[in-house]
Amino acid sequence: MKILFVSPEAVPFAKTGGLADAAGSLPKALKEIGHDIRVFIPGYKKIIGTQSPVATDVYQEKLPGSEVPFYFYEHEGYFGSREGLYQSKGVDYPDNLERFAAFCKAALLFLKEIKWRPDIIHCNDWQSALTLAYLRTIYKDDPFFRRTAAVYSIHNIGYLGLFPREKMLLTGLGPDQFTSDKLEFWGKIALTKAGIIYADAINTVSATYAKEIQTPEFGHGLDGLMRFRAADLYGIINGIDYSVWNPAVDHHIPRRYSPGTVTLKSKNKIELQKQNNLPQGAEIPVIAMITRLAPQKGFDILAGALDLILREGCQFILLGVGEPKYHDLMLRFMKKYPDQVSAHLKFDGMLAELIYAGADMFLMPSQYEPCGLGQLISFKYGTIPIVRKTGGLADTVHEFNPKTGAGEGFVFEEYTSRALYEAVRRAIDLFRTSAHWTALQKKVMQLDYSWDASAKKYVSLYMKALDKVIR
């Protein structure tokens, strides 16, 4: 199958969240099972430089360690000169609609220019959604795309791609597209609707999230539309790339280890404590979070639970950037508990690896979580997740039962500080009875969340989408 994967971010070129991880590793897995997959992303600052030109404004480079061609759309004003992907200092760029409309148009023009006709165009999140609207409006009768099916992945329905209605003209689409059954959403434009409406098949990144977004609680106003499209909606869990995330080969951590040598993990913990200026000791439970500082990630209930948690004598290490009010929150806790709390308010891939390797527990108290990668990476590093039962977290982590050995971590359901605190306490209790803890670590390190299985599911999804266009 020939697939063009269109994404606003992809590891290792540009990343703000989990979509980048998926875009950097799903294509690799699809290539390995024999598909001709190519990826189209914006050429942000720091990316453009070493690639070779392939078409008007498009440069190419192979994804490192693979044969997957990556195409970078070059536009100096929209992408090449910007420090951020979507925002600067926490504020969205005012011309995001223009930027990503240009990107989406370029994707289709590019295909025609290089005369490469994909079976599937697979778009991801609102930034690439207009591609599918153009495919099904402007290019509706173009024989070039007659047998091309449209697939849309929702990595987080909370990001609707909202813009004022006055910008409609700038999309290049007619006013007929600004209706409630198309792109209009409460008087504004919601770009993600272009993807949902025009895709032949839609997917989200876990089975539970696919169900959740059909409810008012999780649908962000699109639950009705998601129910309308339920027959074409699927949930495929993300995998992770074990050539990157693997403590046995990770060169960024002080001490490598595997399930058989999991006790060596404590060397990383001591180093982590040292680097954070925290008291060093293998017996002190270390709880970590690596996340965007967004309301979705559960900071409101964490704020009410952290004092109680710290009373248990643990340490808390956070790595993350996002909303200023959560930066302030973390700085306050750091000041109040200098021997227990350390917060790094930045994006730092290398430090993330040390934290995954050194922490005992990984906390994800998310309000909602489409898939969640943190818990999957934690598994591989023998770091036990403590999660709220929602979305992909509900699908991958179940409460550990010391009697039967079932379960992979600690789970709470109610979105309250109390429920969060109690789950942490259960984790700390088990940590202090170490025989069970080591057994649990070994078990989760051997779980398989590689992309192989999920890539095959994507292939069947593509087949379903193709069935709809090949008549």
Burial label for 283, CB within 10 Å (0-12, 13-18, 19+), is: exposed
Q: Which stretch binds ligand ADP (CB under 6 A): 17-25, 126-134, 166-174, 209-217?
A: 17-25
- State which of residues 24, 69, 235, 320 lies at the interface with ligand ADP (CB under 6 A): 320
SS (H, E, C) 365-415: CCCCCCCCCHHHHHHHCCCEEEEECCHHHHHHCCECCCCCCCCCEEEECCC
Is residue 347 part of the contact set for ligand ADP (CB under 6 A)? yes
Query: Please, what is the minimum distance in Å from the beta carbon of residue 356 to ligand ADP?
Result: 7
Query: Please, what is the minimum distance in Å from the beta carbon of residue 237 to ligand ADP?
Result: 11
Structure tokens at 360: 């005992």
Q: Which stretch binds ligand ADP (CB under 6 A): 41-49, 78-86, 365-373, 445-453?
A: 365-373
Is residue 267 part of the contact set for ligand ADP (CB under 6 A)? no
Q: How far is CA 35 from CA 32, 227, 387, 450, 464, in A?
A: 7, 31, 35, 18, 16
Q: What does R_g of the chain's alpha carbons equal in angstroms?
A: 22
Is residue 23 part of the contact set for ligand ADP (CB under 6 A)? no
Residues near ligand ADP (CB under 6 A), total: 18
- State which of residues 133, 173, 287, 371 lies at the interface with ligand ADP (CB under 6 A): 371
Q: Which among 135, 428, 408, 383 is positioned nearest to 247, based on CA atoms?
A: 383
Residues from 90 through 109 that contact ligand ADP (CB under 6 A): none
Which position's Cβ is nearest ligand ADP? 18
Q: Is the CB of 236 or the CB of 290 nearer to ligand ADP?
A: 290
Structure tokens at 109: 């023009």
Is residue 225 part of the contact set for ligand ADP (CB under 6 A)? no
3-state secondary structure (DSSP) of residue 242: coil
Is residue 372 part of the contact set for ligand ADP (CB under 6 A)? yes
Is residue 374 part of the contact set for ligand ADP (CB under 6 A)? yes
Structure tokens at 103: 């990107």
Q: Distance between CA atoms of 200 and 121, rounded to whole angstroms?
A: 10
Q: Which stretch binds ligand ADP (CB under 6 A): 35-43, 341-349, 441-449, 453-461?
A: 341-349
Residues that bind ligand ADP (CB under 6 A): 17-18, 21, 156, 290-292, 319-321, 347-349, 352, 371-374
